[in-house]
Chain A
Amino acid sequence: MSELHHTSLTALAAGLRARRFSSVELVRAFLARIDRHQGALNAFISVTGERALKEAQAADAALAAGAPGALLGVPIAHKDIFCTRGVRTTCGSRMLDNFVAPYDATVVAKLKAAGAVMLGKTNMDEFAMGSSNETSYYGAVRNPWNPQLVPGGSSGGSAAAVAARLVPGATATDTGGSIRQPAALCGITGIKPTYGRVSRYGMIAFASSLDQGGVLTNSAADAALMLREMAGFDPRDSTSVEREVPDYVAALEAPLTGLKVGLLKEFFEGLERENEARIREALRIYEGLGAKLTEVSLPNLPLSVPVYYVVAPAECSSNLARFDGVRFGHRCENPRDLRDLYCRSRGEGFGAEVKRRIMTGTYVLSAGYYDAYYLKAQRVRQLINADFIRAFQSVDVLIGPTTPTPAFEIGAKTADPITMYLNDIYTIGANLAGLPAASVPCGFVGALPVGLQVVGPHFSEARVLAVAHAFQRATDWHTRVPQGYA
């Protein structure tokens, strides 16, 4: 049994199907690991053990009956941003500390329909606003590679849990890098699909023109399997795109011969020297696999962080207006009047970073400032988008770093929000342009993992995953396990 947690999600699904082990055995093994390591990592907000065992029993019965389901009996975890019917869904916030979702997010329903068994809800930055998982009301998550360091954010709990092999795969969301940055900092694989590819129904909204659900796993092959089951049109999400989902698993082995890889000039600016060395080594591997490298420039890309910090707070201030202390969420004691009810419920329920973004957004949308900030940012966003479109006329994918540095210390960047925001400098562009992008481990700086980012044109998830998979066929960085989690 000791080896099950080192088995890939894909192999676990096949092993269950072949009845080499049962879902109950598998779920017990992973729950035991969560129990053992949760204290050190704080990767989960809720662990739903009893429910998981019931689901596993049902999955075993279904497996015995030969029922379909690509993930039948496979344990997974959900980021606590996804609504799970009958299970507390906090979004990492005091505001939703007692919120029990009355329905399942489409992503949750689809993975359930594929047979996956939920082990729990993972920790995250409050309302997904953060790059270090330090803004969670439930405390910081620790990086399994070094407990003094952050796991990245906002999907830090999902990333730490997958890296520590507490669960073979987890859902996550990415508004400015929240899947790829923690994947890089924890040495695992993550993909943010094209905007509109995965339904946002039941995924608590942060910035609606940027938010997209995705996965964190230990390999591109596992990500392909989970994403295939999650993706697809949903009439309940007005931004969901009506377009067939290709079989990402079947497309994994596509050869890279002649693949045109763009090296983004701007991605190598501000990059730490050792990180750059790992990225350059990875690019040589791609050359060896038959890819052709060319340098491309996206001159407006350096503006993506300031654009993001207008657009995302603006949308967040509007989305989070729904938390009024009336219908759900935290309500203050003894309100004097309706206004006092709103102001105190929100003042008490939201944490510092969320308040900061709500106020930034309120300001940039307020009368007299809308044109100067919000509309201006959306115009510059158009320029960034045009840069990407131009680049993809000459290359198939863009490859570069996911983050400028490896994981940093807990507390190191909390004093200055701008320093924290700049951590997402390489990831935000894909969100602004709605592009699919993955991060895969490509080596170490000292004892810390480094992530390689692959960005593709709209709806090219199959290619992005195949490009990531080819790298993982040629290297073994994705099989490295942090010390203490063997």
Chain B
Amino acid sequence: MALTREQLASIAALARLDLSAAEVPVYQQSLSSILEFVGALERVDTANVAPMAHPLPGLSQRLRPDEVTETDHHEEYQENAAQVAAGLYLVPKVIE
């Protein structure tokens, strides 16, 4: 299936990716060809086949006791942030 320019723009918006004008037709073309390629799956009969949920059959998600095991490292972690103040991450104003 061929994606329109508008469809591509809406995917990019959903993915929170700013694309340049030059990138749009490139992705329009390559995403369309990828979707056509994976479209081969449509023709496979999967009636009564459950979707695979885990690569190791029969394993369920492990649980642990609800106990605090981690210690506070927020100062160290915030060293990787572009803007922090008073232990908080700064972002542009959200509410006027």
Contacts and interface: CB of A to CB of B under 8 A. Distances in A.
Interface in B36-65: 37-42, 44, 46, 49-57, 59, 61-62, 64
A246 interface: no
B87 interface: no
A379 B50 contact: yes
Interface stretch (A67-75, A166-174, A255-263, A331-339): A331-339
A383 B44 contact: yes
B52 A382 contact: yes
B70 to A, nearest CB: 10
Interface in B1-51: 8, 11-20, 23, 26-27, 30-31, 33-35, 37-42, 44, 46, 49-51
A344 interface: yes
B91 interface: yes
Contacts of A375: 51
Secondary structure dominating the interface of A: helix
Interface in A358-378: 358-360, 362-364, 366, 372-373, 375-378
B62 A309 contact: no
Contacts of A317: 15
Interface residues of A, number: 75
20 contacts: A98-B80, A100-B79, A102-B76, A102-B80, A194-B56, A303-B44, A305-B37, A309-B37, A310-B38, A328-B81, A338-B92, A347-B17, A358-B17, A360-B35, A363-B35, A376-B42, A379-B50, A379-B51, A380-B44, A382-B51
Contacts of B51: 375, 378-379, 381-382
Interface of A: 98-100, 102, 194-196, 209-210, 235, 238, 241-242, 300, 303, 305-307, 309-310, 317, 321, 324-329, 331, 335-344, 346-348, 350, 352, 355-356, 358-360, 362-364, 366, 372-373, 375-383, 385, 389, 416-418, 421, 431-434, 458
Contacts of A235: 64
B37 A418 contact: yes
A91 to B, nearest CB: 13
Nearest to B45: A383
Contacts, number: 172
A342 B44 contact: no
A13 B86 CA distance: 49
Contact of A434 (B23, B34, B35, B55): B55
Nearest to B15: A362
Contacts of B61: 238
Contact of A341 (B34, B53, B92): B92
A417 B59 contact: no
A112 to B, nearest CB: 19
Contacts of A346: 15-18
Given A303-B41, A355-B27, A358-B17, A242 B50 contact: no
Interface string B83-96: 10000010111100
A343 B17 contact: yes
A381 B57 CA distance: 12
Contacts of B30: 356, 417
A311 to B, nearest CB: 9
A325 B37 CA distance: 33
Given A102-B76, A338-B92, A241 B49 contact: no
B37 A102 contact: no
B49 A382 contact: yes
B41 to A, nearest CB: 5
A366 B80 CA distance: 31
A362 to B, nearest CB: 4
Interface size class, chain B? 35 or more
Ranked nearest first, the 6 interchain pairs of A and B with the lowest CB-CB distance are A434-B55, A347-B18, A378-B51, A331-B82, A328-B80, A379-B46
Contact of A377 (B14, B38, B50, B73): B38
B80 A327 contact: yes
Contacts of B59: 196, 241
B83 to A, nearest CB: 7
Contact of A242 (B57, B62, B80): B62
A344 B41 contact: no
Contacts of B44: 300, 303, 376, 379-380, 383
A209 B76 CA distance: 30
Contacts of A329: 80
A385 B52 contact: yes
B48 to A, nearest CB: 10
Contact of B41 (A194, A238, A342, A376): A376
Given A340-B92, A347-B19, A382-B50, A363 B31 contact: yes
Most central of A98, A341, A359 by chain B CB within 10 Å? A359
Nearest to A311: B52
Nearest to B53: A378
Contacts of B54: 209
